[in-house]
Amino acid sequence: MDRKKVLAKIQKCLALAASSNPHEAAAAMRQAQALMREYGVEEGEVLAAQVSEADARTPASKRPAVWESYLANMVGSAFGTQVFFGPGLKFRKGRKTGRMSGAWKFVGTSARPEVARYTFEVLLRRVRSARTNYIENELVGWPRAERTRKGDLFARAWVSEVKRQVNDFAADLGEEKAITAYLQLHYPEIGELKSTNRDPHLGTKPLDRHQLKDLVAGFEAAKDVVLHHAVNDAEARAGIGMTRQLQLEGGSHAA
């Protein structure tokens, strides 16, 4: 039997094992255990089978900016997923060596990873556009490196303003165990991400008036972005499924 089908059958048995009928529950548990023994399936693999992932591509290939990391983690928490960055693969074209764009991976149960991916992509486009607009219109005359650094400050404030409006989903213990099992099974080599921080002294030294201006501009630019719940009543009653909506100025995008 195909391993995916085996795992699906085991999960079905485990679901039946939660039955209020003690005889039915015991029979389902015995069947699940028998299948696990027969096909050499470990508990971690069963847990991991409940989990999926969704990738959000990003222009960053190796070390995304701190503000982008903040955004990815904020969205991940908002939708009850775990998130990590996968660097782009190196490639060689003629005499040139390059690197493909990287991706943020959202890992979780049910539809959460896909909803998180969509939300992140919408917000990333929005903050990148706002950051570019700020640099091109408000930082004329500044050296290029300074414009980039100040644009990062603006983006940090933008993300912080959106974060204030988000209520995080609290994943239950079972979901957390399942996600941990999935990551250990599929990504055992995950390490700590070192984001690109162009303002390493932020928070340790007083801000000058120019830095304050960058931050205030970022806060103001994000005030028209609203992230909120829009849970379908029927799905809520059944205890399954999830729908969220990302509401932006001038319209909304179903997530």
Q: Are residues 234 and 193 in the same domain?
A: yes
Asked if residue 161 is part of any domain, the answer here is yes
Asked if residue 47 is part of any domain, the answer here is no
Asked if residue 80 is part of any domain, the answer here is yes
Strands 82-86 and 90-93: unpaired
> Percent helix, strand, coil in the chain (nearest 5)?
50, 20, 30
Q: Are residues 206 and 165 in the same domain?
A: yes
Q: Which domain holds residue 32?
A: 3-41
Distance in angstroms (rounded) separating the CA atoms of residues 87 and 66: 15
pLDDT at 177: 86
pLDDT at 22: 78
Q: Are residues 106 and 217 in the same domain?
A: yes
Q: Strands, DSSP E only, in 22-141?
A: 51-58, 82-86, 90-93, 96-99, 102-109
Q: Are residues 122 and 231 in the same domain?
A: yes
Q: Tokens in use for 38?
A: 């027969």
Asked if residue 155 is part of any domain, the answer here is yes
pLDDT at 158: 96
Instruction: Report the domain count for the chain.
Output: 2
Q: Are residues 188 and 241 in the same domain?
A: yes
Distance in angstroms (rounded) separating the CA atoms of residues 113 and 79: 8
Is 144:73 a contact under the CB 8 Å cutoff? no
Distance in angstroms (rounded) separating the CA atoms of residues 123 and 255: 12
Residues β-bridged to residue 246: 227, 253
Ordered per-residue pLDDT tens for the chain, 255 residues? 777 788 888 878 877 887 778 778 888 888 888 888 887 878 778 778 888 899 999 988 888 999 999 999 999 988 889 999 988 766 556 666 666 788 999 999 888 899 899 999 999 999 999 999 999 999 999 999 999 999 999 999 999 998 887 766 656 667 888 888 889 888 888 888 888 888 877 767 788 888 899 999 999 999 888 765 444 433 333 333 333 444 444 333 433
Asked if residue 46 is part of any domain, the answer here is no
Closest listed residue to residue 187, CA positions, set 31, 53, 14: 53
Q: Are residues 77 and 197 in the same domain?
A: yes
Q: Are residues 123 and 16 in the same domain?
A: no
Q: Are residues 173 and 232 in the same domain?
A: yes
Q: Quick: pLDDT tens for 10-44.
A: 878 877 887 778 778 888 888 888 888 887 878 77
With 0-12 / 13-18 / 19 or more C-beta atoms within 10 angstroms meaning exposed / middle / buried, residue 25 is middle
Asked if residue 116 is part of any domain, the answer here is yes
Q: Are residues 78 and 98 in the same domain?
A: yes
Q: What are phi and psi of 149, to 5 degrees?
A: -65, -45
pTM of the model: 0.73
Q: Are residues 154 and 203 in the same domain?
A: yes
Q: Are residues 134 and 84 in the same domain?
A: yes
Q: Check residue 37 and report its DSSP letter.
A: H
